[in-house]
Amino acid sequence: MSEVLTKARARNVFYGGSLFFAAVFVAMVAQSHHFIVSSSTASQPLTDQVILGKQVWEENSCINCHTLHGEGAYFAPELGNVMTRWGVADDPEGAYQILDGWIQAQPSGIAGRRQMPHFTLTEEQTRGLAEFLRWADHTDLQSWPPTDAG
Amino acid sequence: MKYQSQRVALGYFAVALSLFAVQVLAGLLAGWIYISPNTLSVILPFNIVRMIHTNALVVWILMGFFGAAYYLVPEEAEHELYSEKLAWAQLIILTVGALGAVVSYLVGIHGGREFLEQPLWVKVGILVGALIFLFNITMTSLAGRKTAITNILLLGLWLLSLLWVFAFINPDNLSLDKMYWWFVVHLWVEATWELVMAAILGFLMLKLTGVDREVIEKWLYVIISTALFSGILGTGHHYFWIGAPGYWQWVGSIFSTFEVVPFFGMMSFAFVMVWKGRKNHPNKAALLWSLGSSTVAFFGAGVWGFLHTLHGVNYYTHGTQITAAHGHLAFYGAYVCINLAVMTYALPLLRNREPYNQALNIASFWLMTSGVAFMTFVLTFAGTVQTHLQRVMGMYYMDVQDQLWLFYAMRFGAGFAVVLGAILFIYSSAVIRRDRPAAQAALQPGE
C-alpha cells in the first residue's frame, strides 16, 4: 500500500479530482441557472413589486423566524406556500388584504403564544411583500412541500 | 512558543472565546423563548436573538481558524510571521466588524439572507481582513519550509475567502439567490472548512502522537480528496426543493451520501495515529478534544447528515427540527471542538506554561458534549413528531409546535449544560492559578 500510495500521488489525485468535480459542478450550476430563469420561476413575471417585496423580506429579517422553501429558522410557519394556504395564490388584491390584516394584528400578545413583532410597512411595501410571496408560491419546487401545511 | 510572532494567536483566541460566550448565551435565550414565547418579544424578538446566535458562531469559528493559522504556520514554516503588525491590524478590523454587527442587529439594521445579515460595511471589513490574512500568511509560508499541512490549511482559507465574494451577490430571483447563497454556506462548512479542520487535526496529531510526518500528510491528502470529491457535488442536497432541476435529487443524494466518508476518515485517522504514536504527551485535554472533535463530527455531520440527506427522506424532513438537530451536533463536533482542541494545545505553549487546569478543561468537554448530544437527541425526536404530524398528516404548523413543548423544555436544559461547559472552558483557559509552575519547572506527579 505504502509503495502504491505515496504522498505525491495522493496530492495529485486530490488536485486532479477536485478540479474535475468543480468543473462538473460549475457546468451543472450554469444549466440550473438557465432552468430556473426559463422554466421553474417563469410562470410569474419578476416585476418591480416582487423585487421590492424581496427587499422588504430581507430588511426585516423574516428568514430568522420563518422558513421560505424550507430554509430559514424553524420558529414560525413556512411561507413559500402561505398564499396557497390562504387561498389567494392567484388573487393579488386578496393577497394584499389578508397579509396587511395579518401584519397589522401583530403582535397578538396572547400569553404562551409565539409573538410576531410589529412591522411598520407602507402600503407599497406590503403590496410588494404580498407579490413576492405570491411569486415564490408559483415556483416549481419539484412538488415540495408534501402538504399545504408547509 | 518557538517564534515570537506566534503570540498574535493569543489575541485571536481571546476574541474567539468572548464571541463563543455571546453565541451560547444568545442560544440559551433563544431556547428559552421557545418554551416561554412572550420573553422580550417586543424589545428583543426571536429573529434578532437567532441572528446573534448564528453570526457570533460563524465569526468566532473563523477567528479561531485565523488564530490557529497564526500559531501553526510559523511553526510549520520555521519562520517568523511576515508581519505581526498586519496580524494585529486584521484582528482589530474583524473585532470592530463583529461588535458593529451585533450592535446594528440590536438596533434593527441588518440584511435578510440567512447567516449573511451583516451590514455591507461589515462584509467589506471581513473581506479586507481576509485579504490581509491571506497576504500575511502566504508570505510567511513562501519564506519558509513548505509542508502539506500549511498547504492544505492555506488552500482551505484561500478558497473560503474567494467564496465570500458570493456574500455580495444577491440576485432578485429568489431561486437563483438560494442557489448562489449555498456557494458560501455549503461550500464553506462541507468543503473548505473541512480542509482547515483536517489541517489543524493533522498538525495536532503530529504534535501529540509523534507519528511520522510523511504518514500523516499522505493520509491528510486522502481525507481531503474524499471531502472535496463528495462535498462539491454534495451541494446538490440543498438544490432539491428550491426550484432547481430534478436531477439534483439523484446527484445530491448520491454525493452527499459519500460526505460521510471524510468524517469517518478523520475519525479513523485520529484514533489510528494515537494508537501508532508512542509519544506520551502531557496535554491530555488537547488529545481528548482532538479525538472528540473527529468522533462527534462523524456522528453530527456524517451520521445525522446522512439521516435526512436522501431526497426521498428529505422531501418530508426538509426544514423541520431534524435539520436543527443535525446542525447543532455537526457544528459542535467539527468546528467548535477542533477550535477548542487547538486552543487547549496552544494556550499553555503561548503562555509559557505546562498544560494547566486539565481536569477542569476535560470536565468542560464532557459537559458540553453531553449537552449538545442530548439537545440533538431531543430535537431529533421533536423533528420526527413534527415530520409525521405536519408533513404526513398535514396538521398546521403552530398546532404541531404546541405538541413539541416538552422536547423544547428538555432542549433548554441541555443548552444550560452547554453554557456551563462553555464558561468552564473559558475559565480553565484564561485563569492560571498562581501556585502553578512555569514551563521550566518539573511536572508534579498526577498533573
Give DSSP secondary structure letters for A52-104.
HHHHHHHHTTGGGTSEETTEE-SSS-B-TTHHHHTT-TT-HHHHHHHHHHHHH
Give A28's contacts in chain B (Cβ within 8 Å): 233, 247-248, 251
Same domain assignment for residues A109 and A55? yes
Same domain assignment for residues A91 and A134? yes
Same domain assignment for residues B130 and B246? no
Asked whether residue B124 is domain-assigned, the answer is yes
Same domain assignment for residues B356 and B426? yes
Asked whether residue B157 is domain-assigned, the answer is no
CA–CA distance, B79 with B420 (Å, rounded to integer): 39
Please name the residues between 97 and 136 in chain B that touch chain A, using a CB distance below 8 Å. Answer: 110-114, 117
Asked whether residue A101 is domain-assigned, the answer is yes
Amino acid B446: pLDDT = 39
Cell 427522506 maps to which residue? B313
Residue B1 has pLDDT above 90, yes or no: no
Same domain assignment for residues A68 and A134? yes
> Which residue on chain A is closest to B187 by alpha carbon?
A22
CA–CA distance, B198 with B301 (Å, rounded to integer): 14
Same domain assignment for residues B288 and B410? yes
Mean pLDDT value across residues B382-400: 97
Per-residue pLDDT band for A27 (boundaries 50, 70, 90) equals very high
Asked whether residue A82 is domain-assigned, the answer is yes
Same domain assignment for residues A35 and A54? no
Mean pLDDT value across residues B114-132: 95
Q: Does the beta-carbon distance from B397 to A31 stay under 8 Å?
A: no
Asked whether residue B258 is domain-assigned, the answer is yes
Same domain assignment for residues A65 and A91? yes
Same domain assignment for residues A79 and A8? no
Q: Is B242 on the interface with A (CB under 8 A)?
A: yes
Asked whether residue B305 is domain-assigned, the answer is yes
Q: Does the beta-carbon distance from B173 to A67 stay under 8 Å?
A: no
Instruction: Give the contacts of B206 (CB within 8 A, at least 6 positions apart).
Output: B149, B213, B216
Q: Name residue A78's beta-bridge partners.
A: A67
Asked whether residue A149 is domain-assigned, the answer is no
Cell of B279: 509519544
Q: Are A144 and B318 in contact (CB under 8 A)?
A: yes
Give B225's contacts in chain A (Cβ within 8 Å): 10, 13-14, 17-18
Q: Is B158 on the interface with A (CB under 8 A)?
A: no
Q: Is B388 on the interface with A (CB under 8 A)?
A: no
Same domain assignment for residues A57 and A21? no
Per-residue pLDDT band for B406 (boundaries 50, 70, 90) equals very high
CATH number, domain of A105, equals 1.10.760.10
Same domain assignment for residues A32 and A67? no
Q: What are the backbone dihedrals phi and psi of residue B46, each rounded to the nearest 5 degrees, phi first?
A: -55, -40
Same domain assignment for residues B76 and B131? yes
Instruction: Give the contacts of B179 (CB within 8 A, at least 6 positions apart).
Output: A29, A32, A33, A36, B239, B242, B244
Three-class DSSP category at B70 = helix
Amino acid A16: pLDDT = 97
Asked whether residue A144 is domain-assigned, the answer is no
Domains of chain A: total: 2
Mean pLDDT value across residues B391-403: 96
The pTM for the full model equals 0.95
Per-residue DSSP letter, B134? H
Give B222's contacts in chain A (Cβ within 8 Å): 5, 10, 14
Higher pLDDT, A17 or B440: A17
Per-residue DSSP letter, B353? B
Give B113's contacts in chain A (Cβ within 8 Å): 58, 63
Asked whether residue B440 is domain-assigned, the answer is no
Q: Is A69 on the interface with B (CB under 8 A)?
A: yes
What Å distances lie between residue B126 and A60, B116, B221, B434, CA to CA?
Answer: 23, 12, 29, 38
Three-class DSSP category at B56 = helix
Length of chain A (residues): 150
Asked whether residue B425 is domain-assigned, the answer is yes
Q: Which domain holds residue B109?
A: 1-146
**How high is the mean pLDDT of chain B?**
95
Same domain assignment for residues B119 and B190? no
Q: Does the beta-carbon distance from A140 to B112 stay under 8 Å?
A: no
Q: Is B47 on the interface with A (CB under 8 A)?
A: yes
> Which residue on chain A is closest to B316 by alpha carbon?
A146
Amino acid B388: pLDDT = 98
Same domain assignment for residues B137 and B233? no
- Selected residue of A4, A61, A66, A132 to mutate for chain B interface (largest B Cβ count, 10 A): A61
Asked whether residue A143 is domain-assigned, the answer is no
CA–CA distance, B270 with B65 (Å, rounded to integer): 19
Q: Are B435 and B346 in contact (CB under 8 A)?
A: no
Per-residue DSSP letter, B442? P
Q: Name residue B353's beta-bridge partners.
A: B438
Q: Are B141 and B154 in contact (CB under 8 A)?
A: yes
Domains of chain B: total: 2
What Å distances lie between residue A54 and A48, A50, B71, B108, B212, CA to CA?
Answer: 10, 6, 43, 17, 55
Q: Does the beta-carbon distance from B218 to A7 stay under 8 Å?
A: yes
Amino acid B278: pLDDT = 81
Summarised one tens digit per residue, pLDDT across range B166-224 is 999 999 999 999 999 999 999 999 999 999 999 999 999 999 999 999 999 999 999 99
Amino acid B439: pLDDT = 62
> Which residue on chain B is closest to A48 by alpha carbon?
B172
Amino acid B437: pLDDT = 62
- Selected residue of A19, A32, A133 to mutate for chain B interface (largest B Cβ count, 10 A): A32
Amino acid B436: pLDDT = 64
Taking the CA of residue B302 and the nearest CA in chain A, the distance in Å comes to 20
Q: Does the beta-carbon distance from A65 to B46 stay under 8 Å?
A: yes
Taking the CA of residue A106 and the nearest CA in chain B, the distance in Å comes to 11
Q: Is B258 on the interface with A (CB under 8 A)?
A: no
Same domain assignment for residues B280 and B401? yes
Work out the percent of chain B whose per-residue pLDDT is above 90: 94
Instruction: Give the contacts of A74 (CB within 8 A, at least 6 positions apart).
Output: A67, B319, B320, B321, B323, B324
Higher pLDDT, B257 or B280: B257
Residue A1 has pLDDT above 60, yes or no: no
Same domain assignment for residues B210 and B341? yes
Q: Is A82 on the interface with B (CB under 8 A)?
A: no
Using CB atoms, which residue from B111, B214, B397 is nearest to A78? B397
Q: Does the beta-carbon distance from B51 to A61 stay under 8 Å?
A: yes
Cell of B274: 494515537
Same domain assignment for residues B198 and B49? no
Same domain assignment for residues A53 and A103? yes
**How high is the mean pLDDT of chain A?**
96
Same domain assignment for residues B214 and B112? no
Same domain assignment for residues B110 and B252? no
Residue B442 has pLDDT above 80, yes or no: no
Helices then strands, counting H and E runs in chain B, come out as 18, 0
Q: Is B271 on the interface with A (CB under 8 A)?
A: no
Q: Are B390 and A149 in contact (CB under 8 A)?
A: yes
Same domain assignment for residues A62 and A126? yes
Q: Does the beta-carbon distance from B174 to A135 stay under 8 Å?
A: yes
Three-class DSSP category at B423 = helix
Mean pLDDT value across residues B349-375: 97
Asked whether residue A146 is domain-assigned, the answer is no
Using CB atoms, which residue from B42, B228, B243 is nearest to A21? B228
Q: Are B19 and B60 in contact (CB under 8 A)?
A: yes
Asked whether residue B176 is domain-assigned, the answer is no
Amino acid B198: pLDDT = 97
The total of other beta-carbon atoms located within 10 Å of residue B319's CB is 27
Q: Is B248 on the interface with A (CB under 8 A)?
A: yes
Per-residue pLDDT band for B440 (boundaries 50, 70, 90) equals low
Asked whether residue A24 is domain-assigned, the answer is yes
Same domain assignment for residues A65 and A26? no
Asked whether residue B175 is domain-assigned, the answer is no
A85-109 burial, b at 16+ Cβ within 10 Å, e below that, comes to bbebbeeeebbbebbbeebeeeeee
Per-residue DSSP letter, B438? B
Amino acid B112: pLDDT = 87
The one-letter code for the residue type at B437 is P
Summarised one tens digit per residue, pLDDT across range B293-348 is 999 999 999 999 999 999 999 999 999 999 999 999 999 999 999 999 999 999 99
3-state secondary structure B263-275: HHHHHHHHHHHHH
Q: Are B205 and B268 in contact (CB under 8 A)?
A: no
Amino acid B444: pLDDT = 41
Q: Which domain holds residue A73?
A: 48-138
Same domain assignment for residues B212 and B137? no
Same domain assignment for residues A31 and A103? no
Looking only at the bridges linking them, the beta strands covering A67-68 and A71-72 are antiparallel
Q: Are B238 and A36 in contact (CB under 8 A)?
A: no
Give A10's contacts in chain B (Cβ within 8 Å): 218-219, 221-222, 225
Taking the CA of residue A57 and the nearest CA in chain B, the distance in Å comes to 7
CA–CA distance, B407 with B191 (Å, rounded to integer): 32
